[in-house]
């Protein structure tokens, strides 16, 4: 309350605020931890994955015991945040973030992006545009990170990138590694902007994209046009493609410890490029005339040209979807 711009009135607004954090990995654990400590009244945490040993290098709120038990990330994070601030109502959702899921939630005042894939980000973008809810994009890989505020009435994510790139093209924590300071830098910006929005600050949100490279010591804000793109289907025509698109179906194979992921839009996948990216970060990478095989996270993948994938060594469809998005991302 002593901080300039907050005061008693701002703190009271934080206490009444509800924030949805989509993805409770590196980004989501940092941001939700900061918001709980700031006194935000309610947090909804959604994540479909479990805690693994490799997460502990960058994902705060988790312990080795969580990894050994394979605790769902949303559950482990919620338990820790309740210990941090018992007055904050933290709700854990072990679920896949879909349009149906979002529409069933209590309406948040703000959405924070803690995801690691663009299909989910475009879903957040379209839902927030439809519901007139502000959200804050964030992403980090290697030593680099970026974040920006997207508010109703301004440019949306589709204005900047009309089509989502495949995860296999942009890399992620598993394929390119990540430095924890990059996460801290990006979420510091994200949470500061969140506090300004939630407290009703008269200081406007930062206009543009905050970018950083913590290894090279580069920090800047890239200015963007304030107006939406004239051909944006969301901003100009009020069409929300991600809310009607069918997500890849995940089906457990009967009698086998395996799941099939089948993208709804079959299109030729560059399996040679994917194989090149995976060599050195996955094991047993084998490109045959008919498919691509590799192993990662204790699971064997068989990827077919249309994107259809068989995952062996996993039985939970939610877990399979998370692994598919992490290593392949062709949906």
Active site residue 235: no
Fold of 249-327: TATA-Binding Protein (3.30.310)
Q: Are 221 and 146 in contact (CB under 8 A)?
A: no
pLDDT in tens, the chain (331 residues): 888 889 999 999 999 999 999 999 999 999 999 999 999 999 999 998 888 888 899 999 999 999 888 788 999 999 999 999 999 999 999 888 889 999 999 999 999 999 988 888 999 999 999 999 999 999 999 999 999 999 998 899 999 888 876 555 566 666 678 899 999 999 999 999 999 999 999 888 999 999 999 999 999 999 988 788 889 999 988 899 999 877 767 777 655 688 888 877 656 778 999 999 999 899 999 998 878 999 999 999 988 887 888 899 998 888 998 899 889 876 5
Phi-psi region of 238 (alpha: psi -120 to 50; beta: other; left: phi over 0): left
Quote the pTM value.
Answer: 0.81
Q: CA separation (Å) from 113 to 24, 45, 95?
A: 9, 11, 16
Angle at 280 between CA 279 and CA 285, to 5 degrees: 35
CATH code linked to domain 7-243: 3.40.50.720
- Mean pLDDT, the chain, whole residue set: 90
Question: Where do the domains of the chain lie?
Answer: 7-243, 249-327
Q: Determine which one of 156, 173, 212, 232 is catalytic.
A: 173
| Packing angle of the helix pair 73-84, 26-38 (nearest 10 deg) | 20
> pLDDT, tens digit, for every residue of 107-143?
999 999 999 888 889 999 999 999 999 999 999 999 9
Q: Name residues whose C-beta falls within 8 Å of residue 157's C-beta, 6 or more positions apart in sequence.
A: 121, 122, 125, 137, 150
């Amino acid at each position: 309350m002593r901080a300039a711009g907050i005061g008693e009135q701002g703190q009271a607004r934080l206490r009444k605020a509800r924030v949805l954090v989509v993805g409770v990995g590196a980004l989501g654990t940092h941001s939700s931890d900061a918001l709980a400590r700031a006194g935000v009244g309610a947090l909804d945490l959604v994540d479909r994955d479990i805690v693994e040993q490799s997460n502990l290098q960058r994902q705060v709120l988790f312990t080795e015991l969580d990894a050994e038990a394979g605790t769902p990330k949303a559950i482990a994070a919620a338990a820790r945040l309740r210990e941090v601030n018992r007055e904050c109502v933290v709700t854990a959702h072990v679920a896949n973030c879909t349009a149906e899921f979002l529409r069933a939630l209590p309406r948040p005042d703000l959405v924070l992006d803690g995801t690691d894939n663009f299909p989910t980000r475009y879903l957040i973008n379209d839902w927030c545009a439809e519901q007139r809810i502000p959200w804050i994009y964030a992403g980090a890989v290697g030593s680099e990170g970026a974040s920006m505020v997207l508010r109703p009435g301004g440019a949306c994510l589709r204005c900047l990138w009309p089509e989502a790139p495949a995860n296999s093209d942009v890399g992620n924590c598993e394929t390119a590694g990540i430095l924890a300071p990059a996460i801290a830098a990006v979420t510091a910006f994200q949470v500061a902007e969140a506090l300004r929005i939630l407290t009703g600050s008269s200081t406007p949100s930062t206009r543009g994209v905050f970018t950083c490279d913590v290894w090279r010591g580069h920090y800047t804000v890239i200015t963007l046009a304030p107006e939406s793109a004239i051909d944006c289907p969301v901003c100009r025509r009020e069409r929300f493609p991600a809310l009607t698109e069918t997500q890849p179906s995940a089906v457990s194979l009967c009698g086998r410890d395996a799941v099939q992921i089948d993208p709804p839009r079959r299109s030729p996948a560059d399996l040679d490029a994917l194989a090149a990216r995976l060599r050195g970060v996955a094991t047993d990478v084998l490109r045959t005339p008919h498919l691509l095989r590799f192993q990662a996270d204790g699971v064997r993948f068989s990827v077919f040209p249309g994107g259809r994938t068989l995952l062996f060594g996993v039985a939970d469809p939610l877990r399979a979807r998370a692994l598919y998005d992490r290593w392949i991302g062709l949906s």
